[in-house]
Structure 1
Amino acid sequence: MNCLDYRRQLGPDPRHESAEMQEHRRGCAGCAAHHARALGFELALKRSLAVPVPDGLAERILLSQTTSERGLRVRRRRRWSWAAAAAAVVATVGLVAYQLALFSPLPRQLVLHLQHEPEALITHTPLAVAAIEERFRQRGVRLAGPPPAGVSYAQPCPVGVIGSVHMVMPEKEGPVTVFFLPGHKERRGDYVDDGMHVRAVPMAEGTLALVAADARHFDALEAGWRRSLEGASDIAAGAP
């Protein structure tokens, strides 16, 4: 089991792990930290939903049934006001969380994006070159050379507010997710976010980003995609 498999299986219920998941977590500090955060979030969510019932609620309901129609309308308006206020608070919290994710640093956005498209990691059948080229054309990009072999998934996806071509390349050590973000220039760098390795490389008229639990294929994939996007076969892997 690799880190992506562990986190995908953990998502539905962090409180229940299979024996294989427990074994992986004991040997992986990143997944152990992710598990602890997931449990913490579950506990915080449970506490936030544990709203105590006000004392005397039943008596107040019975009393409301004996009041006049005018009083009933007043109480209804008050209840709707509280409900509207609660809904507004929930909506505001959700909006703030969404905006924080939307404008987070690029490595954080890329890792979060993977959690919303787990189906991208399922297929292992290579796509036809024409299908991959079409995804790039949908983003206004014309490849300078054929794409590296082994792309099993390709879709034009937004990463936050940035348009991208989102691809997956299965490897023996685990899948490598490849993003090309046309028109977006990110400073070159290697990062680790939530146990995932992320490499950002300015390339062609945009940025190439690689995301995987194991970074051993990054150099070779960077060189291959540079040939595809720039047609520069003599640029060494890892060159800025």
Structure 2
Amino acid sequence: MNCLDYRRQLGADPRRETPEMQEHRRGCSGCAAHQARSLGFELALKRSLQVAVPDGLAERILLAQTTGERSARTRRRRRWGWLAAAAVLVAALGIGVQQLQLFAPLPRQLVVHLQHEPEALLTHTPLSVAEIERGFALRGVKLVAPPPAGVSYVQPCPVGMIGSVHMVMPEDEGPVTVFFLPAHRERRGDYVDQGMHVRAVPMAAGTLALVAADTRHFDALEAGWRNSLEGTPATAAGAP
């Protein structure tokens, strides 16, 4: 089970986990944090719905029906109608914003994804080559050369509707988040979104994206990952 499957099943019922989901969560800090947030939201929603019914409500309703307070009932219906319409509008806007986010430019989607998984930036222990290769294999990608040293986090995560290998590489100036999006070709470019620098580079059969507050390691990391994905260190270093 990968992160996308886990989160889809968790969204259907945050309080129920299959044995496969439990096994995935125990080995995935990102999904464990996502489950904690989902359960917290469910608890807050449950508490908000536990509103006591006022005393005598039934009697007052019956009295209103029997005394012919037609005008009062009409006003209440109008008021609740407006509230219901407003609720529907808010829900529609919320869904619309989420749908629009799925079609936002790639740099925006990458930055938003980081905001949803801040715990990934807290890892600092380097992973083994085998662990990194396993993360790529879950996306159907085989590295042709060893990955650059220093990867402390790797997960097959969805970025919007695009599958990715999500990695973190701690640096003295701050962590650099690396995404490889197989089968997705993005035009090369450097962007700034919400104070974060994003570099998108077409590479191998997909796109490599680097995200960080500081760009000083971007050139070296781009060259290193090109060697890992394409096996062309001369080209990665900038040779013709």
Q: Report the TM-score when normalising by structure 1.
A: 0.67
Distance 1:145 1:69 in 2: 83
Report 1:147-186 matches (<5 A): 147-186=147-186
Cα displacement (A) at 1:235: 1.3
| Deviation per residue, 1:112-157 (Å, 9 max, x gap) | 1110000000110011111111111111111111111100011011
Specify every segment of 5 or more residues in structure 2 that has no aligned partner in the other structure, as ranges: 1-57
Q: Which amino acid counterpart does residue 65 of structure 2 have in structure 1? A: S
Q: Which amino acid counterpart does residue 141 of structure 1 have in structure 2? A: V
The change in CA–CA distance for 1:140 and 1:99 in structure 2 (over 3 A counts) is same
Specify every segment of 5 or more residues in structure 1 that has no aligned partner in the other structure, as ranges: 1-60
Distance 2:144 2:68 in 1: 74
Task: Determine whether 1:66 maps to 2:75.
Answer: no
Q: Which amino acid counterpart does residue 106 of structure 1 have in structure 2? A: L
What secondary structure does 1:107 align onto? helix
| Deviation per residue, 1:80-110 (Å, 9 max, x gap) | 7555433321211111111221111111111
RMSD: 2.8
What secondary structure does 2:200 align onto? strand
CA contact (8 A) 1:111 1:196 kept: yes
Cα displacement (A) at 1:68: 2.2
The change in CA–CA distance for 1:219 and 1:118 in structure 2 (over 3 A counts) is same
Task: Determine whether 1:119 maps to 2:119.
Answer: yes
Q: Which amino acid counterpart does residue 97 of structure 2 have in structure 1? A: A
Report 1:97-116 matches (<5 A): 97-116=97-116
Cα displacement (A) at 1:69: 6.9
| Deviation per residue, 1:149-188 (Å, 9 max, x gap) | 1000110111111110000000000000000000000011
User: Aligned residues, how many?
Assistant: 179
The change in CA–CA distance for 1:111 and 1:168 in structure 2 (over 3 A counts) is same
The change in CA–CA distance for 1:239 and 1:139 in structure 2 (over 3 A counts) is farther
CA contact (8 A) 2:227 2:236 kept: no
Partner residue in 1 for 2:9? none
What secondary structure does 2:141 align onto? coil
Distance 2:134 2:80 in 1: 51
Q: Which amino acid counterpart does residue 177 of structure 2 have in structure 1? A: T
Task: Determine whether 1:235 maps to 2:235.
Answer: yes
CA contact (8 A) 2:148 2:224 kept: yes
Partner residue in 2 for 1:135? 135
The change in CA–CA distance for 1:187 and 1:64 in structure 2 (over 3 A counts) is same
